[in-house]
Amino acid sequence: MNKITDTHDKKSTASFLTPDLIPLSTHTTNQFNCTEIRDKHNDKTKSTEETTVVLDEQQSTLQNDIADLHNHTNTTFSPRFNKNNDAVLSVQRKTLPGWVYTLHKKQIFDKIIITLPILIKAIRIICAFSIIFFNLLLLISGTIIKKNNPFYLSRIDLSKTQIIAGLFSSLSTNVESSQINDGVGLTTSEVLIITQYTSSQVSNIPSFIKNYMYGSCSSDSCYEKGYGSAFDYREILDLSGLDIILSYAYTDITSNTAYTAYIDSVKSKNSKILTLQYFCLALQIIATGLLIWYYSSSFSSRFSFSKLTDNRRVMENKKSRFTDKYLVHVLSFLSLLEFICCCIVAIVNLYVILRMKARIKKELDSFDIHLSLGAAWLTCLWFLVASSLLSCLVWGGLEWCVAESSIEFSGLNSSNQLGNISNDNNSSDINADLEFERD
């Protein structure tokens, strides 16, 4: 019995042995497993801490960059993350009230930014060639003195029936009762005789008279006056067979001092305006040459948002300092000067024609003789002014009014990006690169 008890006690005691009495292989294996689990836990904790630190650094860098951009551009930026942890950058430009841009997807933003410089470049080129085209059209068409030329400045439509009716109405006012003025004045029979005689004299009058820049032309013949001529409507009407009508309308056709002075002033204005119009054409040709130089020195548009690097202002096409800094101001000034010259040409031409129209209406309205403006010439003139205005806006307007300062912002580059955290702890970079350039 004692032996059995001793054996049982030994077995019981063996179960409470110290670790030192445990076999070596079992102890080493357990220790390795614990160390491996602890190392994995530490690595995971360290990775999480590093990810958190990286995110904090990225957000801190973003806040500093946004503050820097705000100080330079007077612009409010509000970074945030949506439910999917996608970076959202809300931008509000204070200098343009009401313009709020939300950059939710960089692809959409890039499409807008890529389209903008192409549109502005196209408008500038189209306006430049449009100004040259309409200037040439106005100048060349004015030298073609033909009755079928639609680009006339003004036109007088003549109708035999209306002229005779106007003459009869004018003479009828001179019929007075012989009882009042002792028979002095025209009787009804005399008025009829004069009207019939006048009708026979004006039977071959032209149906219209057109006024061109270098002369005038009727349905029967043309009269070339040369550079800086004036539309002497009294002389043209006299040559067209309406001298008998003018004798009733005016007391003296040739020796009217006021009318002669008026025609001389019109000649002076037309000569100066024609010279100014040639100057506008030459000025625009020079501006177009500079425009071609401006865009040929760069394969990318000036008004663009390009991908930034760590260096400030990396110019891929290596533009010269003059091209980059001063040529845009020269083109803006030329576009402004072109617009002013075109406005002067249009205003003075319209003033001369409208004033002549008022004079003819006052003097010859009783004979139903009126002056009207040329529709084709007027349309071409307004297109010229509109093209010069649009050119001035896309050059001087964008350069001097919208883009007040050239801003180069390189705060958010490849090393400082907004991070996107997914559920599996994989981060993807979102570029929030912004560059404000003036063009």
Residue by residue, DSSP assigns 350-364 as: HHHHHHHHHHHHHHH
Query: How far apart, in whole angstroms, are the C-alpha atoms of residue 390 and residue 124?
Result: 8
Closest CA to 279 of 234, 227, 333, 344: 344
Question: Residues with Cβ < 8 Å from 260, sequence gap 6 or more?
Answer: none
Per-residue pLDDT at 38: 54
Q: With 0-12 CB in 10 A as exposed, 13-18 as middle and 19+ as buried, what is 374?
A: buried
Closest CA to 416 of 87, 145, 94: 87
Per-residue pLDDT at 428: 39
Per-residue pLDDT at 127: 95
Per-residue pLDDT at 3: 44
**How many other β-carbons are positioned within 10 Å of the β-carbon of residue 329?**
13
pLDDT in 10s for each residue of the chain, 439 residues: 444 444 444 444 444 444 444 444 444 444 445 555 555 555 555 555 555 555 556 566 666 665 655 555 444 545 554 455 444 444 444 443 444 444 444 556 556 667 788 888 899 999 999 999 999 999 998 888 888 888 999 999 887 777 777 776 666 665 554 445 555 555 666 666 666 666 666 667 788 899 998 888 888 888 888 887 888 888 888 888 787 777 777 766 555 788 888 999 999 999 999 999 999 999 999 999 999 988 886 544 444 434 444 444 444 445 555 566 688 889 999 999 999 999 999 999 999 999 999 999 888 887 888 899 999 999 999 999 999 999 999 998 887 876 544 433 333 333 333 333 333 433 333 343 434 333 4
Per-residue pLDDT at 98: 40
Q: Which residues of 91-126 are buried (b: 16+ CB within 10 A; e: fewer)?
A: beeeeeeeeeeebeeeeebeeeeeeebeebbeebee
Per-residue pLDDT at 430: 36
Q: What are the structure tokens assigned to 248, written together?
A: 């009733």
What pTM did the predictor assign?
0.61
- What are the CA-CA distances from residue 32 to residues 24, 28, 37, 41, 273 (Å)? 12, 6, 9, 14, 101
Query: How far apart, in whole angstroms, are the C-alpha atoms of residue 342 and residue 344?
Result: 5
Per-residue pLDDT at 49: 54
Locus of tokens 């602890």: 38
Q: Is 77 in contact with 66 (CB distance < 8 Å)?
A: yes
Task: Write down the H helix ranges in 157-249.
Answer: 160-172, 178-181, 188-201, 233-239, 243-249
Per-residue pLDDT at 312: 42
**How many other β-carbons are positioned within 10 Å of the β-carbon of residue 12?**
9
Per-residue pLDDT at 195: 64
Q: What are the structure tokens assigned to 108, written together?
A: 């959409």
Per-residue pLDDT at 307: 44
387 alpha-carbon distance from chain centroid: 9
Where along the chain do its domains lie?
A: 119-158+205-402
Closest CA to 155 of 384, 383, 376, 381: 376
Question: Residues with Cβ < 8 Å from 226, sequence gap 6 or more?
Answer: 214, 215
**How many other β-carbons are positioned within 10 Å of the β-carbon of residue 345?**
23
Residue 143's Cβ-side half-sphere holds a number of Cα atoms within 13 Å equal to: 7
Per-residue pLDDT at 81: 47
Per-residue pLDDT at 356: 93
Query: How far apart, in whole angstroms, are the C-alpha atoms of residue 12 and residue 381?
Result: 118
Task: Write down the H helix ranges in 250-374.
Answer: 257-296, 321, 327-364
Query: How far apart, in whole angstroms, are the C-alpha atoms of residue 28 and residue 269?
Result: 112
